[in-house]
Amino acid sequence: MRLSTLGRYALRAMVDVALHGGEGPVQRREIAERQEISGHYLAQLLAKLRRAGLVQSMLGPGGGYVLARPASEISAGDVLRAVEESLSPVYCVDSNQEGVCQREDGCPTRVLWARLGKAVSEVLDATTLAELCTAPGSPAETRSKPERKGTSA
């Protein structure tokens, strides 16, 4: 299973807003620069995320984007479902595509695809933006580590 650029960029943008939102609304231009995403493409992503109720936009000077809920209450699954057409590994187990596969009733591999889709959803739904903000290698984790001088890896 491979996520689209849309999903990967949306998740990066949401983590960016979560990381920098404590400083006030985060401007689209700043997110685009830090995440190396086209401003136009990011505008499309943020519109989808806003429609899904995950971010709010603040207009005017000093405006930008803020999370609609605390980072601990927004999962990676929420973000990806807002921008991806489907998270299913194959179309025949996608709930939006039921009845499309003529082999559905007798397919020996369908149970595998259904289990895989369920496992992926469980991991995505159990992973919050707050967790991603403090994961090893995240900007917040890197900033909080004191620099060690005179040591080599």
Which token pair is 39? 């401003």
Torsion sign (Cα): 37, 42, 44, 48: positive
- Whether 19 maps to a domain, the answer reads yes
User: Cβ atoms within 10 A of the Cβ of 3, count?
Assistant: 16
- Whether 74 maps to a domain, the answer reads yes
- Whether 151 maps to a domain, the answer reads no
Domains in the chain: how many in total?
Answer: 1
- Whether 102 maps to a domain, the answer reads yes
Q: pLDDT at position 107, please?
A: 85
Torsion sign (Cα): 102, 105, 107, 112: positive
Binned at pLDDT 50, 70 and 90, residue 148 comes out as: very low
- C-alpha separations of 35 from 41, 75, 122 in Å: 12, 19, 26
Residue-averaged pLDDT of the chain: 86
Least confident of 38-42, 60-64, 134-138: 134-138
- C-alpha separations of 71 from 67, 85, 124 in Å: 7, 23, 14
In this predicted structure, the answer to whether residue 152 has a pLDDT above a threshold of 70 is no
Q: Which amino acid is at 33?
A: E
pTM, whole model, 2 decimals? 0.82
Domain assignment of residue 117, given as a range? 5-139
User: Cβ atoms within 10 A of the Cβ of 17, count?
Assistant: 24
- Whether 147 maps to a domain, the answer reads no
- In CATH, what number is assigned to the domain containing residue 33? 1.10.10.10
Q: pLDDT at position 146, please?
A: 46
* pLDDT tens, residue by residue, 39-53: 999 999 999 999 999
Q: pLDDT at position 39, please?
A: 94
In this predicted structure, the answer to whether residue 35 has a pLDDT above a threshold of 60 is yes
* pLDDT tens, residue by residue, 73-125: 999 999 999 998 888 888 777 766 565 677 767 788 888 988 999 999 999 99
Binned at pLDDT 50, 70 and 90, residue 151 comes out as: very low
Distance CA 97, CA 95 (A): 5
- Whether 153 maps to a domain, the answer reads no
Distance CA 126, CA 114 (A): 18
- Whether 71 maps to a domain, the answer reads yes
- Whether 133 maps to a domain, the answer reads yes
